[in-house]
Amino acid sequence: MLKVSDIIQIKIDKIVFGGEGLGYFNDFAVFVPMSVPEDELEIEIISVKKTYARGLIKNIIKASPERVDSHKFTFEDFYGCDFAMLKYESQLKYKRLMVEEVMKKIAGLSDIQVNDVLASEDIYNYRNKIIEPFSVYVNKIITGFFKRKSHEVFEVDENILNSKLGNRIIKELKEILNKNKISVYDENAHKGILRNIMIRTNSNNEAMVVLIINSNKITENIKKLLFKLRENIEEIKSIYISLNSKKTNTVIGEKNILIYGEKSIKENINGIEFHISPTSFFQINVKQAKRLYDIAISFFDDIDDKYIVDAYSGTGTIGMIMAKKAKKVYAIEIVKSASEDGEKTAKENGIKNIEFINGAVEKELVNLINNNQKIDTIIFDPPRKGLEASIIVTVAKLNLKEVVYISCNPSTFARDVKLFSEKGYVLKKLQAVDMFPQTSHVETIALIQRVET
């Protein structure tokens, strides 16, 4: 029987949903993060459960041909990216297999074959939003990532996913802060000022800086340092200070105070200019988001002159694109600032046939029906937890011919596909999209149709 701290040798057979490698030691399952099928490894066991164990790589005995570097194997080696040890074509292959696996196991579609994952044009520096926590290392202020399953921060030379402008701003900010010795927040003592830095960038190479501090008020000193940052980097168009004095893991504070420049930065998708504020939900990889939206809209039979609900609409991106052809779009979103950004964007772009509804989808959808509003179809783009079961019941009651479902979590999506099938619907089309290269995350777009009886 395996014990914690045992050092064993193992060969990795496959990658399972969630991105970890799986091998067997005397027929006992062992999960190994950052491992690749065909790796022969020396690992240290870090936990043992009834039916499986987990281990971390100590040494690569023989590297898989799908591995990018036979000498690097830790989470930190790969800048906190859990799929960066794989060559890009292999990342796409395993994402496809992960989607296929959950569709078979959870959705019960035993003969499904998933198409190749749509590759991302940019596989590095594609993120337009990054949040890094502050920490202190050898008396120096650093930012970076949390070590796996811990709150200890490690610094990297360059964040391989962050936009190049974002990286430049963070580097410059750290130099300014280190010259001025501002205190760093300690979550155990709940003392110190600097909590996190958020950078948002757009396709025009403009940036918004949000400094999150443990305070109820802004000091002139902090303001002065941020103005110095703007002096040094002219691409910064907006600076906020976010006040977060609560003992919480939530990053952004309830009060976000604009101290310089524009309230929001803009992004253009399909000819529509979108406003992005500190709290806005917006797609992280814009180039790939445009392709994702085009596929999702193409899945509909016909949206001309239709009444459409954009459920979990964020800032209303896909809703506004669809409004160009649709008769009316109802964009339902629970985050108030995202709805407000959407309203502002619609007004500025002269889009009059979209209505933003701030509230929970399961509640607001029922309200629309009770108010006798016509609904021809729905596009869903829920958070990781997927749809509330009541929503699927509502769709079935409406007897909608089809819905389109964009998902950021294949396992909850597979669960929902099964629930739809129990209500007389069938998965008609499925396309996986790689929105986040170097990570194990994968998005899916699906067309779900009512079975004609």
Per residue in 399-423, pLDDT (tens digit) is 999 999 999 999 999 999 999 999 9
**220-232 and 164-180 are packed helices; what angle lies between their axes, rounded to 10 degrees?**
140
Q: What is the pLDDT of residue 274?
A: 85
Q: What is the pLDDT of residue 219?
A: 92
Per residue in 365-393, pLDDT (tens digit) is 999 999 999 999 999 999 999 999 999 99
- 101-120+284-450 and 129-269 have identical folds: no
Domain ranges (residues) in the chain: 6-73, 101-120+284-450, 129-269
Per residue in 119-178, pLDDT (tens digit) is 999 999 999 999 999 999 999 999 998 887 778 898 987 899 999 999 999 999 999 999
Per residue in 220-239, pLDDT (tens digit) is 999 999 999 999 999 999 99
Q: What is the pLDDT of residue 341?
A: 85
pTM listed for this prediction = 0.91
Per residue in 323-381, pLDDT (tens digit) is 999 999 999 999 998 899 899 899 999 999 999 999 999 999 999 999 999 999 999 99
User: Poorest-confidence range of 153-157, 214-218, 397-401, 434-438?
Assistant: 153-157
What is the C-alpha separation between 134 and 212, in angstroms, rounded?
10
Q: Which CATH architecture does the domain made up of 101-120+284-450 adopt? A: 3-Layer(aba) Sandwich (3.40)
Average pLDDT value for residue range 295-323: 96
* pLDDT surpasses 90 at 304: yes
* CATH number for the segment(s) 129-269: 2.40.50.1070
Q: What is the pLDDT of residue 54?
A: 97
What is the C-alpha separation between 393 and 145, in angstroms, rounded?
41
Query: Which class would CATH give 6-73?
Result: mainly beta
Contact yes or no for 424/398 (Cβ under 8 A):
no
* pLDDT surpasses 80 at 78: yes
What is the C-alpha separation between 381 and 295, in angstroms, rounded?
14
What is the C-alpha separation between 332 and 345, in angstroms, rounded?
15
% of the chain beyond a pLDDT of 90: 89
Per residue in 60-77, pLDDT (tens digit) is 999 999 999 999 999 889
Tokens standing for residue 425 = 């619907």
* pLDDT surpasses 90 at 189: yes
Q: How far does CA 29 lie from the centroid of its chain?
A: 29
Closest by alpha carbon to 379, among 418, 453, 423, 325?
A: 325
pLDDT category, 290, cuts 50, 70, 90? very high
Per residue in 244-275, pLDDT (tens digit) is 999 998 999 999 999 999 999 999 999 999 88
- Give residue for tokens 């003392």: 191
pLDDT category, 101, cuts 50, 70, 90? very high
Q: What is the pLDDT of residue 76?
A: 86
Q: Is 81 tagged catalytic?
A: no
Q: What is the CA radius of gyration of the chain?
A: 24
Binding-site positions for S-adenosyl-L-methionine: 283, 312, 333, 381
Q: Which of 118, 131, 360, 408 is catalytic?
A: 408
Contact yes or no for 215/245 (Cβ under 8 A):
yes
pLDDT category, 452, cuts 50, 70, 90? confident
Closest by alpha carbon to 209, among 182, 171, 184, 241?
A: 241
What is the C-alpha separation between 364 and 355, in angstroms, rounded?
12
Q: What is the pLDDT of residue 338?
A: 87
